[in-house]
Amino acid sequence: MELLQTLLATLVALGVLVTIHEWGHFWVARRCGVKVLRFSVGFGKPLWMRTAADGTEYAIAAIPLGGYVRMLDEREGDVPEALRNQAFNNKPVLQRIAIVAAGPLVNLIFAVLAYWFLFMSGISTVVPLVGGVAAGSPAAVAGVDSGYEVLEVDGHPVRTWNEVNLRLAARVGESGIIELMMGDPKRGYAHSYQVEINDWSVDLERESPLSALGLEPWQPSFPAVIGQLLPDGVAARDGLKVGDKVLSVDGESVEDWLHLVRLIQSSPSKSLQLSVEREDGRHTVVVTPESRTFEDGRVHGYIGAGVAPVEMPESMQRTLSYGPVDALVNGIHKTGQMISLTLDSIGKMIAGVISVKNLSGPITIAKVAGTSAASGLESFISFLAYLSISLGVLNLLPIPMLDGGHLLYYVVELVRGRPVSEQVQMLGLRIGMALLFSLMALAIINDIARLF
């Protein structure tokens, strides 16, 4: 069932974003008088196809990892004399620029509308209250206190942990001062902390910028109650059941879920005697955690069990909701922030500040799509908006094969007054193909590595 949900969520996500991207090209091409031969969602053999009265073929193809709009073009075949004025290559350069740019721009507009809808309907979030500060961390060195809400990061107001993380992510790899304004807005208390960073390195695969800075979000106390079990995990195999409350491990009383996790992680391959409470009384279960070795050599115990959910206190919940105009302003601002962060991350990845291990491919996209869909409509729409921004920004990069590569050629043509030569375009195409296929291979390798 989970696999089916992941597949459906992935198909919906890619289907929606690819369709609107190609529709952008299609809509502007038609407005510029270009004859469209085929509008395809997906590549490969068509699974469904219909020909409209104007001769345009609409198709859904077997490989849902993209799509295309095929336009009449003399560079791709013979064009009857009567239709030459409808060929893409015969249109003025400004019209060709508009047609090519329309796809990525529609992706960015979609993101604005998605965020506008979310801000209109209300985004449920948690107050960014600091629950703890890791010893020796940059935040601890700066004297940051727990028990207070994060109000601003570098002068920018923040209302959620997501906003805090995004502001901190923009500083990864930098040196200087991160200014945190913290306090209790209800009591009017606020204090500024200067957190010093020096070539701030964050392994984004293992930790968030928030945890790397040393800030731990406040959480309600989680009792040591088993809420979920992996079907093939150690906990299920050794006899633990959903609903079990763990009272002690090898005679040591368990305070809460985090205490239980620490005891499990510190005991790889060691048999542990767990005293658990069930509806029919107390039971003893012997569990032997698996050993998991991390790249830095750390070895942790793991049993494949998850905590039972605990309801967040109402005082810690916050809903961000706006009227139509303010929601649109916030949607534009959020999209702009995500575009800036995406470009900044690409630049830092090229410079080596951020590891290329953070590149993600179709497997990771599918997993995130399934998880966000399971979390509800709000989470899924937010994921769609972020993925749409990524698609729009990446397609605008000046890489041959991408829309941005074509735009680069047309801008050069606009400046020079004549097209870029076919030889240069073919050379660029080969370079672009090699670069894109290398990035795709690296992303898929990263995906496979994350699975294990």
| Residues designated catalytic | 22
Q: Which two tokens stand for residue 311?
A: 């309801």
Picking from 16, 24, 6, the residue whose alpha carbon sits closest to that of residue 42 is 16
- The rounded distance, in Å, linking the Cα atoms of 387 and 18 is 11
Q: Note every long-range contact of 270-273, with CB atoms under 8 Å and residues 24 or more positions apart, other chains counting.
A: 270/301, 273/249
- On whether the CB atoms of residues 33 and 86 are closer than 8 A, the answer is yes
Give me the amino acid identity at 447: D
Bridge partner residues of 433 (DSSP): none
Distances (CA, A) of 25 to 41, 71, 88, 237, 395: 13, 10, 12, 54, 13
Give me the amino acid identity at 112: V
* Contact residues for 280 (Cβ-Cβ < 8 A; gap 6+): none
Q: Tell me the backbone φ, ψ of residue 368, rounded to 5 degrees.
A: -65, -40
- The rounded distance, in Å, linking the Cα atoms of 21 and 57 is 17
